[in-house]
Structure 1
Amino acid sequence: MSRPHDGQRAFFPFGNPFRIILPKGSYLSLKLRESLFSFEKNLADKLKKLKPKDNADVLTLSWMRLAIEFLSEAYNSLKTLINELQLPVSDWDEKWIDIYLDSSVKLLDICIALSSELSRLNQGQILLLYVLRLVDISTSHPSPEQLKKSHLHLHQWIEHINSKSFKLENCPVIESLRGTLGLPKVKSSKGKVLMRALYGVKVMTVFICGVFSVMLSGRSKALIGLHISSEDFFWFEAFSDLQAIVNEEIRQRFDSGKVVIFKEIAAVEACASGLCKTISGSGEKEPMQDGIDINHEEEMIAPRKSTNLERQMLQECAINLVNGAKSLGHELDSVSKQVNDFFEIVLVGRDALLCNLRISAVTQEYQATSLSFADMLRLAMNKVC
């Protein structure tokens, strides 16, 4: 008995998406084509959400958080696709396994480097909190000694926040991961879908991690421009648009002589500089005599009675710094959480593959030697985590 929807399918208004995402000579079943189309369309849709309304928004911690969240969703989608393919590990080509394991360990290294840098930036919050405690005028006006210490620690924070990550500046892992990009020749239909999906996720990963490396290290040489050899990917246009916007914004900052820095950090730095100037103007200056060795000329505030205007200016600058520090701390914590979540997703996927490989090896050994069920169970307990 025929169904009402049997027969020729209606034409897509924008053309056949399965023909768009698959080059000539690729013969996949309808189910595989639909799975691949759904996966690539999902990547394209999420990439479009990463496109900022204002191009300068890419230089923010909030955009960084969204980008890492996108990578986490992409890897979860890849995991879902692998389950839909029903491709057991025993059917995986050894080359596919090597590609997956090699890429995953590189990603774990990148996550560790990112987490280390975010932690370093977050440690600077301790200096800011100490300064805010010193200049608290809710009870009384800070003493000259407290103002001197505040001035010193604000400069230390500015130096700390502007120092760049050596790990990310000299991080060969990202370039190494880029070197693994490519579509290997695969005979299996399911293998073609798997390699194509894995390629798409790796392209997004290399691009986003490269952007973070530039922004956290302040080195333009880390900027990666990826050239996709084929336009058959459904996500190609969305990716090309995003890459052009992000890379152009970063290049403009470097060309203008400015070091790339997150907008949230720049805002707090402006507040810290403003407080420094206010402290310096709150009394007569004389050279410091405490022998502290720093890279800039420090000054101390000579004791004198402050005016109401100076107290008001000091209070306003302190309030601005408090608000900026809270916002910066929140964004750093949010990004760090996303990096940790992404690390966990990659690690769990890697461990799952390794455990499946061990189980597959045990099964093959059982089939080859005709072990009893008890012997097989014992062997599995020894090999499987």
Structure 2
Amino acid sequence: MSKAQDPPRGFFPFGNPFRMLSPKGSELSPWLLSLLNGFESLLAARLKKLMPKNKDDILTLSWMKLAMESLCETHNNINTLITDLHLPVSNWEGKWVDVYLDISVKLLDLCNAFSSELTRLSQGDLFLKCALHNLKSDSGEKYLQARSSLDSWRQHVNANNPRIENCRAVLDSLVKSLSLPKVKNSPKGKVLMRAFYGVKVQTVYICSVFTAAWSDFPKDLFDLPVSVKPLWAKEFTDMQSLVNGEIRDMLSSGRSTVLKELESVDASVEKLYPLIQDGVAPVEVESFEGYVTELGSEAEKLSQGLDRLLEEVDSFFKMTLSGRDVLLCNLRSSDSFSGKAIGEDLDCQ
């Protein structure tokens, strides 16, 4: 793999992980192959849904919410697959567990960063509400206060968030984990590791899109090459190509933001600002009232979209934390004597 700061980022610094699924003299049973194909087919369908029908849908809050929902579904599917494999945690190789725990910590860090940015943007709604309240007045003093609120909103939403800036390092480290551990003499383990690979590819990519959307920095967007063997490879490649191309076009166009709802509010502010900059009643009253109504509508869409996306990010955080806790509990159980106290079992549950 090339260095993290040098695009493109390679996938297989330690060899091709898909070689483990076709070792000499070894084949997966029909049952295991069915489980793997079922998981990968669901992932393919999920990625296909992320392919926007219209390029204007890319980096809308509704598309980002759909992407986060997709991640939650994929992580739910991997939990189901683990159950179907009947592969107790006690049979997991130590390196598998280490990889899982390390990745889960990084995902929690990313979720915290995304939640902090969504919360920060939501706090800007207070400035817009104050501006709209004052814009409904006929007082020149109120127009000056509205202008001040709009200035504050601009400064607030354009401020840098250190947590988002730190996401790049976290994502770079996750890319390094995309190389899978070798699995010896465990067909179930091979299926599990290949499924984990698909989960990690989708997770790293979606998180890189979120980071690029909030940092407005094209280098935060990943181009992930994938093997052609997984059933989801084509859907992922097509989706990544379209989304990355459109985001890079937006970032190179000089826009103040690439987040569509935020851009719409900013456009409404741009229309209103010249009319109130002197603190006098606008001459074009009809146009002015229309701009105020438009700002109120766009601000409401932004506020609702941020709230809904924050709910999905929180759901993903809780899912990741819950899965980590279950794994740790099962590990403790497997290392304990069979006759341990009932209270310990209850604690784990």
Structure 1 gaps, min length 5: 1-20, 286-300, 367-372
Distance (whole Å) between structure 1 residues aligned to residue 39 and residue 243 of structure 2: 24
Preserved contact between residue 257 and residue 263 of structure 2 (Cα < 8 Å): no
- The one-letter code matched in structure 1 to 2:245 is E
Q: CA RMSD in A?
A: 2.1
- Aligned mates of 2:99, 2:23 — CA distance in 1: 25
Q: Secondary structure at the match of 1:233?
A: coil
- Determine the structure 2 residue equivalent to 1:225: 223
Matched, 1:350 2:330: no
Whole-Å separation in 2 of the counterparts to 1:94 and 1:215: 36
**1:151 corresponds to 2:147:** yes
State the distance in 2 between where 1:95 and 1:361 align.
Answer: 16
Per-residue deviation at 1:328? 0.6
Preserved CA contact (<8 Å) 1:271 1:320: yes
2-structure distance, mates of 1:64, 1:23: 36
Amino acid at match of 1:110: L
With normalisation by structure 2, the TM-score equals 0.89
Conserved? CA contact 1:166–1:217, under 8 Å:
no
Deviations 1:294-337 (A, max 9, x none): xxxxxxx26xxx47x54433322211111111111110011000
CA apart distance, 1:153: 1.1
Change (3 A) 1:193 1:331: same
Give the structure 2 partner of residue 176 of structure 1: 173
Which residue pairs with 2:202 in the alignment? 204
Alpha carbons of structure 1 residues 234 and 88: separation in structure 2 relative to 1, 3 Å: same
Which of 243, 249, 252 is matched with 1:246 structurally?
243
Aligned partners of 1:250 and 1:260 also within 8 Å:
no
Q: Which has the larger radius of gyration?
A: 1
Question: Does 2:104 match 1:130?
Answer: no
Q: What is the CA distance between 1:22 and its match in structure 2?
A: 5.2
Shift of 1:246: 1.2
The answer to whether the 8 Å contact 1:169/1:219 transfers is no
CA distance in 1, matches of 2:315, 2:253: 36
Match of 1:292 in 2: none
Q: Which residue of 2 aligns with 1:60?
A: 60
| 2:289 is equivalent to residue 319 of structure 1 | no
The residue identity in structure 2 corresponding to 1:237 is K
1:239 maps to amino acid: F
Greater alpha carbon shift after TM alignment, 23-32 vs 327-336: 23-32
Q: TM-score, normalised by structure 1?
A: 0.81
Aligned to 1:360: 334
Match of 1:193 among 191, 194, 201: 191
> Structure 2 CA distance, aligned partners of 1:214 and 1:67?
14
Mapped to 1, the partners of 2:136 and 2:165 lie a distance apart of 38
Aligned residues: 328
CA offsets per residue over residues 279-299 of structure 1, 9 Å max, x none?
13xxxx4xxxxxxxxxxxxxx
Structure 2 distance, partners of 1:183, 1:92, is: 14
Identify the residue that residue 164 of structure 1 maps to in structure 2. 160
Q: Is the 8 A contact 2:212 2:221 kept in 1?
A: yes
Secondary structure (helix, strand or coil) at the match of 2:258 reads coil
How far does residue 64 in structure 1 lie from its aligned partner after superposition? Answer: 0.7
Does structure 1 retain, via aligned residues, the 8 Å contact 2:78–2:196?
yes
- What is the Cα deviation at residue 45 of structure 1? 0.6
- 3-state SS of paired residue (2:224): coil
Check the 8 A contact 1:125/1:329 in 2, yes or no: yes
Closer, same or farther: CA 258–318 of 1 in aligned 2, 3 Å: closer
Please give the secondary structure, in 2, of the residue aligned with 1:87: coil
* Aligned residue type for 2:333: I
Q: CA deviation at 1:174?
A: 1.2
AA at the equivalent of 1:345: M
The match for 2:268 is 271
* Matched position secondary structure for 1:98: helix
Deviation at 1:238? Answer: 0.5
Report how far residue 381 of structure 1 moved: 6.1
Q: What secondary structure sits across from 1:59 in the alignment? A: coil
Once the two structures are superposed, residues 192-231 of structure 1 have per-residue CA deviations (whole angstroms, 9 ceiling, x without a partner) of 0110001110010111101111110111121111122x21
Identical-pair percentage? 43
Whole-Å Cα distance in 1 between the matches of residues 346 and 54 of structure 2?
56
Structure 1 residues 312, 240: closer, same or farther in 2, change over 3 A? same
Q: Alignment partner of 1:362: what SS?
A: coil
Contact 2:183 2:189 in 1 (8 A): yes
User: How far, CA to CA, are the matches of 2:251 and 2:325 in structure 1?
Assistant: 41
Change (3 A) 1:382 1:244: closer
Which aligned runs of 4 or more in structure 1 are off by greater than 6 angstroms?
A: none
Runs (5+) with no aligned partner, structure 2: 1-19
Deviations, residues 130-181 of structure 1 (Å, cap 9, x unaligned)? 11111224xxx2x121111101111221222223333212321111111111
Q: Distance in 2 between matches of 1:377 and 1:170?
A: 44
| Cα deviation 1:34-69 (Å, max 9, x = unaligned) | 000000000001100100012232121111111011
Check whether the contact 2:178–2:201 (CA below 8 A) recurs between aligned residues: yes
Match of 1:377 among 337, 341, 344: 341
Conserved? CA contact 1:279–1:314, under 8 Å: no
